[in-house]
Chain A
Amino acid sequence: MTLHLSIAAPLGEASVDPRERLERAIRNDYRLIWRLLRRLGVPTDAVDDAAQEVFLIVAERMSDIRENSERAFAFGTAVRVAHSARRRRAREPVSDQGEAGETTAHSPVPGADELSDQKRARELLNRVLDAMPMELRTVFILFELEGLRSPEIAEMIGVPLGTVASRLRRARESFRELVALHNPSPGGENR
């Protein structure tokens, strides 16, 4: 693990109270982090705990986190927490339930058919994303699903803007190939 540490200003110079920063981080980023965890393969029945773990870590480390870097820190933490959660799940005996416990209660309430379609679509989306290299997957999720702009993504993942652009381009190619692979029907060609 590489921690990039620097000397911060003394506490007295801090402009925002840690509690306020934590509240803001949760307010602004909880949904993003929760969905990120889902898209990184955390099962539905574990994602609430995983999101909670992310923000507990953010809270514990708040005095170490540079102001306005809370989202980046939460993002990095979420990637690691998702990895741990998936590793834990892989070690567990396979359950018959699988993803059947899809917490559709977490989503807007669609009709039964739509519910089933959405569930299938999410499962497929996760499979597609799972097949992408992590560095492409995260950029794709943040840009295409979360609607973040490239500069913010670059700051969050700590790479130059040009790298975000090239990863996004490759991620899109990969996404399209994978979706086509899973949807060989002519419907996949509708633009």
Chain B
Amino acid sequence: MKDPARLLDEGATAAELSLLRAGMSEEPSEQAMKRLSVALGLASGASVSTIALKSGAASAAVRGTASRFAAKWLLWGALGASGAALVVAETASVHRTVATSPPGAATHEDVIPPAPVVTAPAPVVTALPEAPTTPVVAVQSPVRGSPSIAKEIAALDVARQRLGGGNPRGALRALDDYDRAAPTGVLRQEAALLRIEAFARAGDLGTARRLASRFLREHPKSPHEKRIRALVGETP
């Protein structure tokens, strides 16, 4: 069956064309894509340079740190307890596959089973390794152009790396550095998320819960809500 020509190419009125063109020209901001990459722990990957950065401004800054991280952790660690459940699921010999079922698929409320989130909290770290002595600011790569977002990503990657390496106290120090360096940063929500996770992993659940409560009060519609509740053992 042959497709008809698009209206844009054939037969549209001027009014129709103006609407179609206006719709097609609307684009997401680069910043939004960068935030997504950070939220998913993909910011360090080479993909960032192709996903998020048309200008490539931050890619140099993040590329250098990519290989040092465990890919598994970057992806699923960033997703926390529910991510952990997925990792567990991956080890099973048989797992479910969602067919191409978009009409019935996925709302956030629907697809995240609460049980594994609640019963599989982030592991509490009892031995806290020494933090690397390198301050976060040293991680910033020399990037031409406007590097502020690149610096933010790099700084959060340090925190994420320490967290993934079982060093939540080191992650907290990195986050303190981030807060000082980027008091109005665009990735502050992601930083707050990491901080909550760091306190939870360090065993300071009280502080984690207090921060989580404040975060949810300040960002009631944040896409991180479920993850944050899971981190502190709250049922969504």
Contacts and interface: CB of A to CB of B under 8 A. Distances in A.
A188 B83 CA distance: 52
B216 to A, nearest CB: 14
B42 A56 contact: no
A57 B25 contact: no
B93 to A, nearest CB: 5
B22 A61 contact: no
B22 A118 contact: yes
B226 to A, nearest CB: 8
Contacts of A72: 100-102
A170 interface: no
Interface stretch (B9-17, B127-135, B145-153, B172-180): B9-17
B45 interface: yes
A95 interface: no
A51 B18 contact: no
Contacts of B102: 72-73, 75-77, 79, 156-158
B37 interface: yes
Contacts of B95: 8, 11, 63-64
Contacts of A157: 102-103
B105 interface: yes
Contacts, number: 260
Interface stretch (B55-63, B106-114, B136-144, B156-164): B106-114
B23 A4 contact: no
A108 B107 contact: no
Interface in B78-134: 79, 82-83, 86, 89-112
A77 to B, nearest CB: 4
Contacts of A64: 89, 95-98
Interface of A: 1-8, 10-11, 17-19, 22-23, 26-27, 30-31, 34-35, 38-39, 46-49, 51-53, 55-57, 59-66, 69, 72-73, 75-77, 79-81, 84, 88, 103, 105-108, 117-118, 121-122, 124-125, 128, 143-145, 147, 149-150, 155-158, 161-162, 165, 168, 172, 175-176, 179-180, 182-183, 185, 187-191
Interface of B: 1, 3-4, 6-8, 11-16, 18-29, 32-33, 35-37, 39-40, 42, 45, 47, 50-51, 71-72, 74-75, 79, 82-83, 86, 89-112, 221-223, 227
